[in-house]
Amino acid sequence: MSPELLAGRIIDDGVHWLGGCLSASAPSHSGEVQEVHYHVSSYLVVGSKATILVDTGDPAHRATVMDQLDAALSGRPLDYVFPTHPEIPHAGNLPALLERYPGALVVGDVRDYALHFPEYRHRLQAQSAGDVLDLGDREFRFLPAYIRDLENTLWGHDSGAGMMFVSDGFSYIHDIPGPDEDDEPVHLPGQCRLFSSEMPVPPTVDQAAYGTGRALYWTKFVDVSTAFQAIEDTLSAFPTRWIGPAHGNVIDDVEDMLATSLAAHRKVYEGRLL
């Protein structure tokens, strides 16, 4: 793993981009086999009174996530762990984190977590959309997951940096693969841990539509215009300069990416996805 991935990246005031990338080989359009990467990100928010980790990262990156956390916390405890939903990239490192940080509580929609982790039942703290955690100099607000994978997915917002955490939302691929290639939101080596504005070219509607139509198959059957209006209303209510997806580059050109993502969802729904 590259040094920049091992170290993580500070996004803004008190927010750290952690996790790693999974690597695979895929043929390029020229027919040559190339290495591609797939973000599995976590985000640490450090307040003056408390800290919260959004998503746990993939177990393949467990040692890296732990080392990144130690460095980012700088001796502070981890107070909250917020898996946006109970899938491996989002909750797979939860037992290891709870063992490592015995004072940490699991927050979010934790309705089924006691079945998976009965030994940690007493450390589950249910939160609903609209609930707020006081981190001291900032608030962490739980939001509805307007674009979601599972029913008990939640998003979040940090008032300190003005950052929205969107789980499986707003991911996109950087090239449309051929019929025998992977359909995850992949990127090339050297493009890890880049903000969207730092990518060589911005994503197109076709690229965003390709990933959306396969990663979130239900979007082919649902008009998400209402969801995007709710997203815009939320962005108006809670100023947002950054969007942090679990599987994709951190978005720092929020307005442009919002328009691209909405157009992509409309293209998928209207059946014009190739």
Mapping DSSP onto H, E and C, the string for 243-266 reads: EECCCCCEECCHHHHHHHHHHHHH
CA distance 261 to 170: 7
pLDDT above 90 (res 44): yes
pLDDT of residue 187: 52
Fill in the DSSP letter of residue 79.
-
- pTM score, whole prediction: 0.84
Mean of the pLDDT values across residues 249-269? 80
Which are the contacts of 70, defined by CB distance < 8 A and separation ≥ 6? none
Confidence band (pLDDT; 50, 70, 90) for 189?
very low
Which residue has better confidence, 126 or 171? Answer: 126
Q: What percent of the chain has pLDDT over 70?
A: 76
Fill in the DSSP letter of residue 204.
P
pLDDT of residue 210: 62
Question: What does pLDDT average to over the chain?
Answer: 83
pLDDT, tens only, 112-157: 999 999 999 999 999 999 999 999 999 999 999 998 878 899 999 9
CA distance 187 to 199: 10
Other C-beta atoms closer than 10 Å to the C-beta of 35 total: 11
Strand 132-134 relative to strand 80-82, pairing: unpaired
Mean of the pLDDT values across residues 248-274? 77
Q: What domains does the chain contain, in order, with CATH numbers?
A: 3-269 (3.60.15.10)
Confidence band (pLDDT; 50, 70, 90) for 177?
very low
Which residue has better confidence, 186 or 239? Answer: 239
Other C-beta atoms closer than 10 Å to the C-beta of 7 total: 16
Confidence band (pLDDT; 50, 70, 90) for 80?
very high
pLDDT above 90 (res 98): yes
Question: Under a CB-based contact definition with an 8 Å cutoff, are residues 69 and 259 in contact?
Answer: no
Q: Between helices 254-269 and 225-237, what is the axis angle to 10°? A: 170
